[in-house]
Amino acid sequence: MKLLSGIKLVSIATIALTLFVLPNFAQDTPESTPTQSTPTQSTPTPSTPTQSTPTQSTPTPSTPTQSTPTAEPFSSTFPDISDDPYKAEIEEAAKLGIVKGFPDGTFKPDETVSREQAAVMIVQAINSKVPVDLNEKPKRSVQPFLDVPADRWSAKAIYWLQWNLYPANVSQLTGNFRPEDPITRVELVDFLRQTAQLMQAKISGNAQLTEPDKPIVFSDVSGYDKVLTMQMSAHCRVASPLNEKGDAFAPEQPAHRDYTAAAIVRTLNCK
């Protein structure tokens, strides 16, 4: 499996180190334009203009799906994750602001995650460990994605990942990021491998990942995906069996919200 459509991924050892609360992840709410009253006196001194107080929302990233999760504070738990194998990690992700609940108070653990949602969540997670400046300029020449305009709600996070995680000129192969496509489980793990390497490099100066667990040889992966999932299963079970049962990874299955939250938290906590 490849992280981006049409992109030939290089080996893990050589890939470049360059992937719900953080400002500017979601679209900022524009300030209202101050209004001025017309002077009512004929004297040269105009009356003091009255201004409407700018309504300025604090940009709080959310994980938009067909129903957008709320930005309400995390309470204690979601009523629909009591039997979920990733319950503890979902709650930790919620406390960190990486994921949000829905207006009805549920988490909807089985909903799929889009590629842009995953990008925003991962950038938020990185920022909890090392500072992320979404307004920084790339330090190398990059080709913007054709399907990610600058005013898209997820654009800053996607481009930050491109500049910091992807090999040089990766977008030139297809020109598209496919932001609304569901992210597959193996794509998510590939994002998180590069994320873990980036955080390791910034924190310790060494991008070598630890492998505290025994690698899992999944029954349904081969080639690059096999190497990737073995490494990331040894790295604190970031790659784990589907629903934590059996020996199948289901690499092409869309990643659900519960596994996405858990895999991100495992990446953050792995020492």
Quick check: 177 pLDDT over 80?
Answer: yes
| From 61-65, 136-140, 166-170, 201-205, the region with the lowest mean pLDDT | 61-65
Confidence of residue 70 (pLDDT cuts 50, 70, 90): very low
Report whether 100 contacts 71 (CB < 8 A).
yes
Report whether 54 contacts 67 (CB < 8 A).
no
Cα–Cα distance for residue pair 81/225, rounded to 1 Å: 29
Section 112-118 average pLDDT: 97
Return the pLDDT at 167.
Answer: 63
Angle at 88 between CA 83 and CA 91, to 5 degrees: 105
Residue for token digits 């842009």? 116
Return the pLDDT at 208.
Answer: 92
Please provide the DSSP assignment of 54-116 as one string: P----------SSSPPP-PPP-S--TT-TT-TTHHHHHHHHHTTSS---TTS---TTSB-BHH
The encoded tokens of residue 63 equal 């994980």
Section 143-169 average pLDDT: 88
Kindly state the percentage of the chain with pLDDT values over 90.
61
Length of the chain: 271
Looking at the DSSP bridge assignments, the partners of residue 81 are none
φ, ψ for residue 120, nearest 5 deg: -65, -45
Return the pLDDT at 193.
Answer: 97
Confidence of residue 67 (pLDDT cuts 50, 70, 90): very low
Quote the pTM value. Answer: 0.73
Section 109-133 average pLDDT: 96
Return the pLDDT at 235.
Answer: 98
Return the pLDDT at 175.
Answer: 86
Residue for token digits 């519960």? 258
Quick check: 118 pLDDT over 60?
Answer: yes
Return the pLDDT at 143.
Answer: 84
Residue type for 207, please? A
Closest CA to 148 of 169, 117, 178: 178
Higher pLDDT, 29 or 223: 223
Average pLDDT, the chain: 78
Quick check: 137 pLDDT over 80?
Answer: yes
Return the pLDDT at 173.
Answer: 60
Section 52-77 average pLDDT: 45
The encoded tokens of residue 263 equal 């895999």
Q: Could you read off the pLDDT of 203-213 as tens digits, one per residue?
A: 999 999 999 99
| From 36-45, 75-84, 181-190, 230-239, the region with the lowest mean pLDDT | 36-45
Return the pLDDT at 166.
Answer: 76
| From 1-15, 50-64, 76-90, 160-174, the region with the lowest mean pLDDT | 1-15
Section 142-148 average pLDDT: 90
